[in-house]
Amino acid sequence: MNMMNTIKHEFPLRPDLVYLNHAAVGVWPRRTADAVKNFAEENMIQGATDYPKWMNTERELRGRLKRLLNAASVDDIGLVKNTSEALSLIAYGLDWQSGDNIVSTNQEFPSNRMVWKSLQAKGVELRLAEVSGDDPEAAILALCNKRTRLLTVSSVQYGTGLRMNLDRLGAFCHTSGVLFCLDAIQSLGALQFDAQACHADFVVADGHKWMLGPEGLAVFYSRPEARDALSLLQYGWHMAERAGDFDATEWSPAAAARRFEPGSPNMLGIHALNASLSLLEEIGMAQVEADVLSNAEAVMAWVKSNPELELITPARPGRYAGIVTFRHLHLDDDGHANLYRRLMAGGMVCAHRAGGIRFSPHFYSDVSALDAAWGRALNDQRS
C-alpha cells in the first residue's frame, strides 16, 4: 500500500471532523482498534490460555520503545501508568538534601511542576526559567548552580509549542553532573528522538498523544546509573529479578526498569500501543517528523495569512514541533474560550491553551482546507 492509501485505511475519521488535537489525546489507527477488539474477543472465548503470546507482545512493545527512544538496552524501558506517575517515581525516589535545587521552565504542564514543587517540604528549591525569549536554553542554564541536582523540561511545551534544544541542555547536564529529566509526551511519536545522544537520564511519556495509543500506558526510560539512584516506592511480585518464583521468600529488585513495575501489566494497553507504534515504525520516524513539521508549517502559514490571528508558537526553525497555538487579536480569554467551544461544535477538534487556540495535527492530518473548515465551523454556529 502506498502512503496515501495506508493513511486512508488507518485513519477512517468522521468526515465532519478536522482532528487537530494530538497534543491532548490522539486518534487510534485502525490496527489499534483491531488489536483491542481481537484482544477482547480472545479474552471472552479463552481467557489467558495463550498468556505466553501476550508476553511476546509485551516484549515486542518494549523493543519498539527502545528503538523509538534509541535506548541502549530494552532493560532501560519501564512501563508505567502515565507521565505523572513516572515523574513522581523520580521525584520521590531521589535522595534530596536540604538546599538542593531543581531547574525547570515557567511553561511546564502541571505534572512536571507540582511534584517538584512538593519537594519544598524537604528543603528543595524549584527554580523556573522564563523561556519566552530568543534563547530559552540560556535562560534555563543561567539558573543552574552547584546545588542543582536535576534539570527537568518538556521536550516541547504543551501550551506554546516551544521546542527545546535537548542536545544543548543534555550536554550541560552531562558535564556538570546534573540529572537530566525529559517529559517527552509532546514529541515522542512526532519527532525523531535519541535518549543517548541528548544524555537523558530519565524520559517519560504517556502513549495517548503523538504515539497514537490509549491513555494509561506510559514509557519510563532510565539510564542504568540514574535508575540505581532511585529508591523504590512501590512493591510487588512483578518487579523481582526472578518474577514468577512465587515461593521465594528472599528477592532482589530487577536490574532492569521492570523494578518500577510492581504488579500485573496493562496487557490491554500493551496490545493497543504495540499496534500503534508498529504503524509509526512502518512509516518511519524520519518521514513522520517531516510530515508533522510540514503540517505545522502549513498551519502557521494559514495563521499568518489571517490578519485577525497572531501566532503564539515560535515560528523559528528548530523551535516548533507539532503544536501551533495562536490567538485572535480582538478576543480576551473568555472570548477565546467561546471561540474554542464554537470550533469544537463546528467539528474542529482542538484545545484552548496558553491564552489561545491550539491546533496539533499529526503526520497523517490533512491541513489543506483549514480556511474552509474555520469559516464553516464559525458560520454554522452563527446561523
107 binds ligand PLP (CB under 6 A): no
205 to 244, contacts with ligand PLP by CB under 6 A? Answer: 206, 218
111 binds ligand PLP (CB under 6 A): yes
Amino acid found at 114:
M
277 binds ligand PLP (CB under 6 A): no
299, 289, 18, 275: which is closest to 155 by C-alpha? 289
109 binds ligand PLP (CB under 6 A): yes
Radius of gyration of the chain (CA): 22
Q: How far is CA 46 from CA 125, 175, 244, 270, in A?
A: 53, 54, 22, 19
Nearest residue (CB) to ligand PLP, 218 versus 367: 218
- Give the shortest CB-227-to-ligand PLP separation in angstroms: 20
Applying CB under 6 A, the span of 50-58, 81-89, 135-143, 333-341 interacting with ligand PLP comes to: 81-89
363 binds ligand PLP (CB under 6 A): no
CA distance 133 to 281: 35
260 binds ligand PLP (CB under 6 A): no
186 binds ligand PLP (CB under 6 A): yes
Kindly state the cell numbers that stand for 363: 503526520
Nearest residue (CB) to ligand PLP, 32 versus 82: 82
159, 160, 315, 335: which is closest to 343 by C-alpha? 335
Applying CB under 6 A, the span of 98-106, 181-189, 238-246, 296-304 interacting with ligand PLP comes to: 181-189
The pairs formed by 35-38 with CB atoms below 8 angstroms and a separation of 24 or more are 35/271, 35/272, 35/274, 35/275, 36/214, 36/268, 36/271, 36/272, 38/271
If phi over 0 gives left and psi between -120 and 50 gives alpha, with beta otherwise, what is residue 347?
left
Among 19, 116, 158, 374, binds ligand PLP (CB under 6 A): 158
- Give the shortest CB-210-to-ligand PLP separation in angstroms: 10
**Residues at the interface with ligand PLP (CB under 6 A):** 82-84, 109, 111-112, 154, 158, 183, 185-186, 206, 218
